[in-house]
């Protein structure tokens, strides 16, 4: 089947807007479950696992989950464009495009409160980076003992993180006067590339912050269930970005998917008519 990949130039503002409108703020459609429907199902699933989630106002739950999702999208976008083989793979200003476009989109659409709440979860990223740097446990399995280290080694690691943060801040300061966007982006930068081990640790921390914001205290099973949802949101953001890169836009990806589905159904009908 011939692909319907788009040849349009990828524009970060379009990619962000298309993600938010198709994955987070789109009303119920005829062909797909709405984003709010997905989060409603997640809420019901969480309640079935842990009673602590019962009684939480759904609109509050929805807003917090969307807020976490937007922050995760920013992290996924940065990881998606990260190239460890090049010291500065793109112009410094490029890395500000997503967070700047996101802030502008939320403000322009009357959703500035989401941007404000995102700060809580961005702080979680910063805290997690600091913790994992000191403990050096990124990607270390629970039962694998940490190598014996001395205080000098730990001090070197801490100084390295501080210096990296300074370099990133100086680099991004040349491209923007928005210190809020710059500082949040620095924290995200320190967490990339966000592999499966890192997103697992980060999802644990985000789950704890999320339940704190929701005012509930779930048991271990509830936290694990919430963590699974958060990892799923990150995976969805990564998959979206993969689809956009391959097809040029999310709509082009959906068109190709529909065409393939129609082809499969046609084969089934033709077989049935024989």
DSSP type of residue 194: -
Number of domains within the chain: 1
Q: Which tokens sit at 169? A: 């801040």
The label of the residue with tokens 């040029």 reads 248
Q: What is the pLDDT of residue 144?
A: 47
Q: Which tokens sit at 245? A: 């890169």
Please report whether residue 23 resides in a domain: yes
Residues in the chain: 274
Q: Which tokens sit at 107? A: 């403000």
Q: Which domain holds residue 187?
A: 12-273
Please report whether residue 2 resides in a domain: no
Please report whether residue 147 resides in a domain: yes
CA 11 to mean position of chain CA atoms:
19
Please report whether residue 7 resides in a domain: no
Q: How far apart are CA 16 and CA 102, in angstroms?
A: 7
Q: What is the pLDDT of residue 265?
A: 80
Element (H, E) at 79: helix 58-80
Q: What is the pLDDT of residue 137?
A: 53
Q: How far apart are CA 42 and CA 109, in angstroms?
A: 26
Asked if residue 222 lies in contact with residue 231, where contact means CB atoms within 8 angstroms, the answer is no
Q: How far apart are CA 10 and CA 253, in angstroms?
A: 14
Please report whether residue 6 resides in a domain: no
Please report whether residue 131 resides in a domain: yes
CA torsion through residues 101, 102, 105, 106, sign: negative
Please report whether residue 3 resides in a domain: no
User: Over its length of 274 residues, how does the chain's per-residue pLDDT go in tens digits?
Assistant: 444 454 456 799 999 999 999 999 987 655 556 788 889 999 999 999 999 999 999 999 999 999 999 999 999 999 988 765 655 556 778 989 999 999 999 999 999 999 999 999 999 999 999 988 877 654 444 444 555 555 565 677 788 889 999 999 999 999 999 999 999 999 999 998 777 778 889 999 999 999 999 999 999 999 999 999 999 999 999 999 999 988 888 888 888 888 888 888 888 777 666 5
């Amino acid at each position: 089947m011939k692909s319907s990949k788009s040849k349009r130039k990828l524009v970060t503002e379009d990619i962000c807007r298309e993600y938010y409108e198709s994955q987070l703020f789109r009303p119920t459609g005829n062909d797909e479950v709405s984003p709010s429907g997905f989060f409603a199902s997640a809420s019901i699933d969480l309640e079935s696992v842990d009673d602590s989630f019962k009684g939480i106002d759904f609109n509050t739950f929805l807003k917090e989950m969307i807020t976490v999702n937007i922050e995760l999208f920013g992290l996924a976008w940065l990881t998606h464009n990260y190239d460890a083989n090049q010291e500065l793979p793109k112009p410094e200003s490029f890395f500000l495009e997503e967070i700047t476009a996101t802030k502008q989109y939320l403000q322009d659409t009357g959703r500035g409160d989401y941007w404000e709440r995102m700060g809580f979860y961005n702080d979680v990223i910063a805290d997690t980076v600091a913790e994992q740097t000191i403990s050096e446990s990124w990607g270390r399995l629970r039962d694998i003992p940490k190598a014996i280290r001395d205080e000098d080694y730990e001090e070197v690691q801490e100084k390295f993180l501080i210096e990296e943060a300074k370099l990133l801040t100086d680099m991004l300061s040349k491209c923007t006067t928005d210190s809020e966007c710059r500082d949040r982006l620095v924290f995200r930068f320190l967490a990339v590339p966000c592999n499966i081990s890192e997103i697992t640790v980060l999802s644990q921390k985000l789950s704890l912050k999320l339940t704190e914001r929701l005012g509930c205290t779930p048991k271990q099973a509830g936290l694990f269930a919430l963590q699974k949802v958060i990892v799923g949101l990150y995976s969805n953001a990564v998959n979206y970005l993969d689809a956009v890169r391959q097809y040029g836009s999310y709509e082009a990806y959906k068109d190709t998917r529909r065409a393939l589905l129609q082809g499969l159904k046609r084969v089934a009908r033709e077989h049935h008519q024989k």
